[in-house]
Structure 1
Amino acid sequence: MTSLEGRSVEDGARPQVRRCAAGDETALALAGKATFLESYAGMIDGQAVIRHCEERQTAPYYAAALADPAQALWIAEMAPNAAPVGYLHLTGPDLPVETGPGDLEIKRIYLLSRFHGSGAGRALFEAAYRFGVEQGAARLLLGVYKGNEKALGFYARMGFETVGERSFDVGGAVYEDWVLARGLQGGLGS
């Protein structure tokens, strides 16, 4: 057994990342609720977390995203039972910074903390990077809560830099985010 973030996982067990398709909406909603709660419990208002999950972490929300050709989603699953442990949602940019036709937004990227350090977060990011390169995109952008130090550290290691700020509504409570960007030229780097 190996320890990831103080919890045990089978030796060699690593989440597998794959592109989502119609039928994955229930797994995405479960991963969305679990990872959002785990990421923000105790950090932001609990009722706001509940409301956010009831509104934006639902199977119909993800079914609509999967049906939209302008959006792409990937899921991280544990073999052999395909239990969802994280996901990535990529869209056109909807951020309060100057964007161009070659920009894509990582709308959401979450992974259960048990799997931080497993390489799954990087694999999700790499999926977005490869997709962006294939689409001829210039940059990946994302918003991240200013108080989420772990996520900020991960994004810095992935080559993101701060390009702005935004206010973000989570279940009726407003929080401040950094807007980060990373070019898609020059390879993946570290």
Structure 2
Amino acid sequence: MTKAPAWTVRHAGPDDASALALVGAATFLETFAGAIDGPAIVAHCAANHAAESYAGLFAKGAQAWLGEVEGGAPVGYALIAKPELDAARPGDIELKRIYTLSRYHGSGLGGAMMAAAVAGASGHERLLLGVKADNHRAIAFYRKQGFDPIATRQFNVGGKLYDDLVLARPLA
């Protein structure tokens, strides 16, 4: 296996919407191909991983951090925004997305992006997220980052419902 190149993490903004969309769609496909129906993945990515979707999130106050390799190629990102989870309470913020290309799993990039998101969430009481209930690798990562399960929900991907866990990490 080839060693992944060094990466950096920087704050991202509306001008990075296309880079976030590229990584979001690529990692969603990479993670869920074979676990979620292909047409559902395509529909989900078209609706949720288009540059316009990210521009809309920024317009509503979202914050993001982009992982890049030398030369500026995007390889991961994290994004926090106002929570939309039923388990949310006043003072919460949601980690909407944290994705890295699989080549960068285990490189420390996920932890660095999580640290940036936690720092960006300063002033909130809890950081929440939803994760597919059978995504054991991601759940292990989140548990290592201080998250614990607080609820379940169903998540719509391209018109099909999947089971999610809702996790929370205290910030205060």
The one-character-per-residue Cα deviations of 1:39-91 (angstroms, maximum 9, x if unpaired) are 1111111111111011110011111222332x111111111x11111111111
Q: Which of 3, 10, 23 is the aligned partner of 1:9?
A: 3
TM-score (norm 2): 0.96
1:91 equivalent to 2:81? Answer yes
1:78 equivalent to 2:65? Answer no
For residues 100 and 175 of structure 1, the distance between their equivalents in structure 2, rounded to whole angstroms, comes to: 23
Contact map agreement 1:76 1:86 (CA 8 A) in 2: yes
Query: Partner amino acid for 2:76?
Result: G
**Structure number, greater radius of gyration:** 1
Structure 2: give runs of 5+ residues left out of the alignment: none
Contact map agreement 1:141 1:182 (CA 8 A) in 2: yes
Query: Partner amino acid for 2:3?
Result: V
The one-character-per-residue Cα deviations of 1:7-53 (angstroms, maximum 9, x if unpaired) are 3135xx32211111221111111011111101111111111111101
Partner of 1:111: 100
TM-score (norm 1): 0.87
Q: Which of 42, 52, 67 is the aligned partner of 2:59?
A: 67
Structure 1: give runs of 5+ residues left out of the alignment: 1-6, 186-190
Figure out how many residues of one structure are paired with residues of the other and give that number.
172
Q: Secondary structure at the match of 2:15?
A: coil
When structure 1 is superposed on structure 2, of 171-180 and 85-94 the one drifting more is: 85-94
Q: Secondary structure at the match of 1:9?
A: coil
1:173 equivalent to 2:129? Answer no
Query: Partner amino acid for 1:74?
Result: W
Residue 184 (structure 1) shift = 1.0
Partner of 1:4: none
For residues 32 and 177 of structure 1, the distance between their equivalents in structure 2, rounded to whole angstroms, comes to: 18
The share of aligned pairs that are identical, in percent, is 45
Q: Which runs of 4+ in 1 moved over 3 A?
A: none
